[in-house]
Amino acid sequence: MERIFYELKEALSQPGCPLCSLEKDAERRYFDTLFYELVNDPATRQKILRGGGFCPTHTALIFEERNSILGIAIIYWDLLGHYFDDENIPLSCPLCQTLKEKEQHLLSILQKRWTELKPLWGERTFFCTRHLQTLQNGDTLKEEIMALTQKSLHTIQQHLSALIEKFDYRKSHLPLQEKETLSWQEALEFFAGKTLKKERK
């Protein structure tokens, strides 16, 4: 629990949605562990088979990350071999389930330790549209996170304005600041409900 608390503290001080950032880290760790360490673990393989494999989003991520081609080949050899065993299996992505549990745990920590965590909120930290919806209506935590998110989005909007302005040929000599060059990506992340940048700044 303490490890996750410290991860949350770090994520809250960074630009972007802290829950999306921790979700992306969890996805990477999950696939590293699966394809390098648990690829031949019978219980892990059974869980993947019972769920019918991974959802389209996480399958695309496997392709993008390519952790271990051998590990991917072994898992998907198994999935192809069992695909027609039971055509009525509802898809139940094991990674989606893991992430859902982690999200609930993070929200619980936020609820219990918000007084400690609130001062760490960064100038460009926000909850994305997807994670704003996970907060309970009428809850003080939601009201405070909404207010902080609104303030951060206003800052990002100002950076977008500066970026747009510097595309004017009369101002093209002005140097672009890093926060201006990242502003369009942060705006997309707010609406996408996921971390899009490869590396956080």
Banded pLDDT at 1 (limits 50, 70, 90): low
> What's residue 22's pLDDT?
96
Task: Give 155-179 pLDDT, tens digit per residue.
Answer: 999 999 999 998 887 877 777 889 9
Task: Give 3-33 pLDDT, tens digit per residue.
Answer: 889 999 999 999 999 999 999 999 999 999 9
Backbone angles phi, psi at 145, to 5 degrees: -70, -35
In this model, does residue 46 exceed pLDDT 70?
yes
Q: Which helix (H) or strand (E) holds 94?
A: helix 94-117
Banded pLDDT at 84 (limits 50, 70, 90): confident
In this model, does residue 198 exceed pLDDT 80?
no
Task: Give 102-161 pLDDT, tens digit per residue.
Answer: 999 999 999 999 999 999 999 999 999 999 999 988 889 999 999 999 999 999 999 999
Between residues 166 and 94, which one has the greater pLDDT?
A: 94
Banded pLDDT at 200 (limits 50, 70, 90): very low
Our CA angle for 31, 193, 32, nearest 5°, is 10
> What's residue 169's pLDDT?
78
Rounded CA gap, 50 and 97, in Å? 13
In this model, does residue 55 exceed pLDDT 90?
yes
Tokens coding 69: 């081609």
Interacting residues of 94 by C-beta distance below 8 A, sequence separation 6+:
47, 48, 51, 54
